[in-house]
Amino acid sequence: MAFESLSEKLSATFKRLRSKGRLTESDVKDAMRDVRMALLEADVSYKVVKDFIARVSQRALGQDVLESLTPAQMVIKIVNEELTETMGKENAKINMASKPPTVIMLVGLQGAGKTTNGAKLAALLKKNGKRPLLVACDIYRPAAIDQLITVGRQVDVPVFQMGTENPVRIAKAAIAHAGKNGNDVVLLDTAGRLHIDEALMEELQNIKAEVQPHEIMLVVDAMTGQDAVNAAKAFDDALGIDSVFLTKLDGDARGGAALSVRAVTGKPIKYAGIGEKLDGIEPFHPDRMASRILGMGDILTLIEKAEQSFDEKKAQEMAEKLMKNRFTLSDFYEQLVQLKSMGNLGDIAGMIPGMDSKALAGATVDEKALSRTEAILLSMTPEERDNPSLLNSSRKKRIARGSGTQVVDVNRLLKQFEQMQALTKQFSGKNMKRLMNSKKPKKGLFGF
DSSP state, 358?
Answer: G
* Position with higher pLDDT, 337 vs 285: 285
Confidence label for 444 from pLDDT (cuts 50, 70 and 90): very low
- Give 105's strand partners: 188, 216
4 within 8 A of 357, measured Cβ to Cβ: yes
Same-fold call for 4-87 versus 303-439: no
pLDDT digit string, tens, across residues 379-412: 999 889 888 889 999 999 999 999 999 999 999 9
Q: Domain 102-296 has what CATH class?
A: alpha beta
pLDDT-based confidence at 195, cuts 50/70/90? confident
Q: Collect contacts of 388-396 with beta carbons under 8 A, ≥24 apart.
A: 388/329, 388/414, 388/417
- In this structure, what are the phi and psi dihedrals at residue 240, rounded to the nearest 5 degrees? 80, 70
Cα angle vertex 293, ends 288, 295, to 5°?
A: 95
Mean pLDDT of the chain: 81
Q: Which residue has the higher pLDDT, 225 or 97?
A: 97
Domain chopping of the chain, boundaries:
4-87, 102-296, 303-439
pLDDT digits (tens, 9 = 90+) for 178-188: 999 999 999 99
Q: Are 187 and 133 in contact (CB under 8 A)?
A: yes
Percent of the chain at pLDDT exceeding 90: 38
Q: 186: which strand partners?
A: 103, 133
pLDDT band at 343 (very low <50, low <70, confident <90, very high): low
Who's near 62: CB < 8 A, 6+ residues apart?
Answer: none
User: Considering just the CA atoms, what is the radius of gyration of the chain in Å?
Assistant: 26
The yes-or-no verdict on residue 434 having pLDDT over 60 is no
Q: Are strands 215-221 and 185-189 parallel, antiparallel or unpaired?
A: unpaired
pLDDT at 98 over 60: yes
Task: Give 243's pLDDT tier (boundaries 50, 70, 90).
Answer: very high
CA dist., res. 419 & res. 29, Å (int): 52
pLDDT digits (tens, 9 = 90+) for 25-73: 899 999 999 999 999 888 888 899 999 999 999 998 887 787 777 888 8
Q: Helices 367-378 & 393-403, crossing angle to 10 degrees? A: 120
Interval 341-360 mean pLDDT: 52
Instruction: Tell me the C-alpha distance between 171 and 187, whole Å.
Output: 9
SS3 call for 42: coil
In the prediction, which pLDDT does 362 show?
A: 46
Q: What is the pLDDT of residue 41?
A: 87
Q: How sure is the predictor about 258, in pLDDT bands with cuts at 50, 70 and 90?
A: confident
Residue 5: name the closest of 441, 361, 288, 284 by CA: 361
DSSP 21: S
What top-level class would CATH report for the domain 303-439?
mainly alpha
Separation of alpha carbons 255 and 447, rounded Å: 33
Which contacts (CB < 8 Å, 24+ apart) does range 341-345 have? Answer: 341/309, 342/305, 342/306, 342/309, 343/274, 343/275, 343/280, 343/305, 344/250, 344/275
Residue 423 phi, psi dihedral angles, 5° rounding: -65, -40
Sign of the C-alpha dihedral, residues 340, 382, 422, 300? positive
State residue 422's pLDDT score.
Answer: 73
285: left (phi over 0), alpha (psi -120 to 50) or beta: beta
Identify the CA nearest to 216 among candidates 185, 239, 195: 239
CATH code, residues 4-87: 1.20.120.140
Q: What angle in degrees, to the nearest 10, is found between the helix axes of 4-19 and 25-41?
A: 170
Buried b (16+ CB within 10 A) or exposed e, 78-99: bbbbbbbbbbbeebbebbebee
Q: Report the 3 state secondary structure along 78-110.
A: HHHHHHHHHHCCCCCCCCCCCCCCEEEEEECCC
Mean pLDDT (whole number) for 161-171: 95
